[in-house]
Structure 1
Amino acid sequence: MNFTATVLGTGVAALVLVVKLQAAPEPGASLGAPLLGQGLVTVDPTMVGSVQTSGPKPAAMRLIDLRSGESCKILGSQPKSDTFEPAPLLPDCNSSKLSRVSQWRADNDGTLEMADTHGETVMRFMPGDGVLFESVYPSDALVTIVPARG
């Protein structure tokens, strides 16, 4: 009987402690006051979505098919306008899929679109995380664009 009472008492005490720790703070409790004025940086929410990388634009980019390892080198960092213009694809392209690209354009929303000689979209890219661009169209493509070395 003594053992059972001790176990139940300990269990209830533990339950009360857990509930107290997980409860909302009491009214009037200040959680952030000690940090006020300590050099915190505020973030303008209207600017978060438009952060651009700084530094020089690459002189050339490399399109890499991550499934096959095939790649193509293209001169420039991206097209100059939002209308299709010739894509300066270099002859070292060893991919039949990527070598279909003959035109490209940069849209106002930051996307990069590449098309064949007939203006049919071959691939569409969005700015990437850790890379210049990542493919979003076609859905089965796994192509990334990185700055070209050399």
Structure 2
Amino acid sequence: MRFAAVALGVGFVGTILANLPARSDANAESLVSLMRPSAEITGSIAPAGPQPAAAVRLIDLRNGATCKIAGPADAAAGFRRAPIGPDCAASPELARVAYWKTTGDGSLIMADGGGETVLEFIPGDGVLYESIYPSNALITIVPARS
């Protein structure tokens, strides 16, 4: 999806540049620099990916299983023990989780004791993470309240 948007944007800019009278590299650079959003606009947009949370709440939306645990470590830490407690035992997916890690692109991977991926999450819209693997998982991760 991102590639298609980039390709569309590049094609659009290329069409504009191709139709400029007396086109030169200087004109092209000037036009492209004018098309960039101002720092005032981009400064108002939160950086991609969730901010590390001291504690998170895992919620299985199918059966209501929920548990509060310490937030995941940063991406450089690799797989670490996931402190998932008995409150999440009612969730078949969460009950299998033994390890987790964040990645450089902001996603979160949870694995079982044998290292097999059980769940995979991406930064969410309105939540810290939303599940993307397996496709039928309905698990979300939100910041935990004190």
Q: Quick check: TM above 0.5? A: yes
Give the secondary-structure state (helix, strand or coil) at the position aligned to 1:99: helix
Unmatched tracts of structure 2, length 5 or more: 1-35
Structure 2: how far apart are the matches of 1:68 and 1:96?
7
Letter in 1 for 2:117: T
| Structure of larger gyration radius | 1
- Aligned-residue CA RMSD (Å): 3.2
Residue number in structure 2 paired with 1:93: 88
- The answer to whether residue 58 in structure 2 is matched with residue 63 in structure 1 is yes
Structure 2: how far apart are the matches of 1:71 and 1:94?
9
Letter in 1 for 2:73: P
TM-score, L = length of structure 1: 0.60
Kindly provide the CA deviation profile for residues 17-72 of structure 1, in whole angstroms up to 9, marking residues without a partner as x: xxxxxxxxxxxxxxxxxxxxxxxx9357x9999824797x4321111111211122
Q: Residues 62 and 54 from structure 1, CA distance in 2 versus in 1: closer, same or farther, beyond 3 angstroms?
A: closer
**Pairing partner for 1:111 from 107, 110, 121:** 107
Q: Residues 43 and 102 from structure 1, CA distance in 2 versus in 1: closer, same or farther, beyond 3 angstroms?
A: farther
Residue number in structure 2 paired with 1:25: none
Residue number in structure 2 paired with 1:75: 70
TM-score, L = length of structure 2: 0.61
Structure 1: how far apart are the matches of 2:49 and 2:81?
25
Identity %: 51
Give the secondary-structure state (helix, strand or coil) at the position aligned to 2:58: strand
Q: Residues 54 and 134 from structure 1, CA distance in 2 versus in 1: closer, same or farther, beyond 3 angstroms?
A: closer
**Which residues of 2 match residues 1-150 of structure 1 at below 5 A?**
42-43=37-38, 51-52=47-48, 57-76=52-71, 78-80=72-74, 81=76, 83-97=78-92, 98-150=94-146
Letter in 1 for 2:96: R
Structure 1: how far apart are the matches of 2:97 and 2:58?
11
Structure 2: how far apart are the matches of 1:68 and 1:105?
25
Q: How many residues align?
A: 108
CA contact (8 A) 2:49 2:123 kept: no
Q: Residues 94 and 83 from structure 1, CA distance in 2 versus in 1: closer, same or farther, beyond 3 angstroms?
A: same
Letter in 1 for 2:121: F
Structure 2: how far apart are the matches of 1:54 and 1:110?
7
